[in-house]
Amino acid sequence: MKTENVMTQWGLRSLSYWMTLFIALGILFIGLRFILLPRVSVEDFGIQVCSQSDLAFGRIKGIRDMYSGLALLALLLGRMKKATAYVFTAAIIIPCMDCLQIYLNNGLDLPRMLVHGLTAVYMIITSFLLFSDTNKATS
């Protein structure tokens, strides 16, 4: 199996690049916020804090989010659009499961569920564009 890192023209002139960058920077910001302000972030997310030890879960989410943002940034900076497309598409599970967690914990909390649901839709559209860009470059 041959592994190849081919630098492409994909980058600043591509809508999918900017859409992915927006999510990467946004999730990095959210991750930092969960680490620095866990109580506020957890409550804004839609989970009630029962004790001080519950805040550890907010920090854990922050670490997960920071990793996700940094991983996407690394792929973007390397202009690895195919790898970005696969990783980004796999990450769609995160806002979907976040939306489900809000529902399971709070019932039909539309404002919070919409944030995660719309994020998932945005990511699906971005994923489609990433793969469309990838197919154009390889054909």
Give the pLDDT of the chain (139 residues) as one tens digit per residue.
565 555 557 888 999 999 999 999 999 999 999 999 999 999 899 888 888 888 999 999 999 999 999 999 999 999 999 999 999 999 999 999 999 999 998 899 999 999 999 999 999 999 999 999 555 554 4
The pair phi, psi for residue 21, each rounded to 5°, is -60, -40
CA angle 36, 39, 23 (to 5 degrees): 60
Interatomic CA distance for residues 70 and 106, integer angstroms: 30
Residue ranges of the domains in the chain? 15-138
CA separation for the pair 109, 125 (Å, rounded): 24
Give CA–CA dist 85/100, Å, rounded: 24
